Amino acid sequence: MTPAQTDAFFATLRAANPQPETELAYTNVFELLAAVLLSAQATDVSVNKATRSLFALAPTPARMLALGVDGVEAHIRTIGLYRTKARHLVETCRILIERHGGHVPRDRAALEALPGVGRKTANVVLNVAFGEPTMAVDTHIFRVANRTGLAPGKTPLAVEQGLLAAIPPGYLVDAHHWLILHGRYICQARQPRCGACQVRAQCAFEPKTAAR
């Protein structure tokens, strides 16, 4: 995708959705971190259903820690890998309290030092909570970047670096959301909805048949 095509690609997405937002439900930075941690290999819809009751009881690291692993598990049993995630979340709360005064750090290294928090999760928190121009490459973004020709790469890190280099600075803060939403609802894995795609003119993908 040429620079001109990339600019047109994101200009179109911005015109359609000027203020994109995550579909995870949260009311503070800690809840965002917890929701993203729980969302690995799970849908946002399933996470939101589980965290509705969890966050009502434990909207802070101290209150989540007080619930304990068993208490957290009771709320997130419908989410995949819930036992491991409950342990990670409770230990994360302990570290936030002991090392960061109960606050979520605005620092990549500190975020990635938390149990269950990898580069993707750290990027989401830095972008959504703190407005930093990071790119959290999930399966949707990986697919869209490769399929469209926007930033082809064989690994999530390669795609992340390619996107950060290709996307004009004026679009970077919101690009993560636009690409996820595009992959989730239009550029779907099994059957991309090319007939409904607003950025088809810039896309390198040539489907055998265009789905509507």
pLDDT(211) > 70 = no
Among candidate residues 138, 154, 174, 208, the one labeled active-site is 138
70 belongs to the catalytic site: no
Tokens for 74, please give them.
């009771």
- The 10s digit of each residue's pLDDT in 67-123 is 999 999 999 999 989 999 999 999 999 999 999 999 999 999 999 999 999 999 999
Round the average pLDDT of the chain to a whole number and report it.
93
Q: Which domains does the chain have, with CATH numbers?
A: 3-20+134-202 (1.10.1670.10), 29-128 (1.10.340.30)
The pTM for the full model equals: 0.88
Q: In this predicted structure, what is the pLDDT of residue 212?
A: 44
Q: In which band, very low, low, confident or very high, does the pLDDT at 24 lie, cut at 50, 70 and 90?
A: very high
**Number of Cβ atoms within 10 Å of the Cβ of 69:** 15
At 36-63, the pLDDT tens digits run 999 988 899 999 999 999 999 999 999 9
CA distance 66 to 44: 25
Output the pLDDT for position 80. Answer: 87
Residue type, 17: N
**Separation CA 85–CA 90 (nearest Å):** 9
Length of the chain, in residues: 212
Q: Which of 44, 120, 174, 208 is catalytic?
A: 120
Q: What is the pLDDT of residue 91?
A: 97
Give the contacts of 65 (CB within 8 A, at least 6 positions apart): 90, 93, 94, 97
Active site residue 120: yes
How far is 26 from 1, CA to CA, in rounded Å?
35
Please tell me what DSSP assigns to residue 155. S
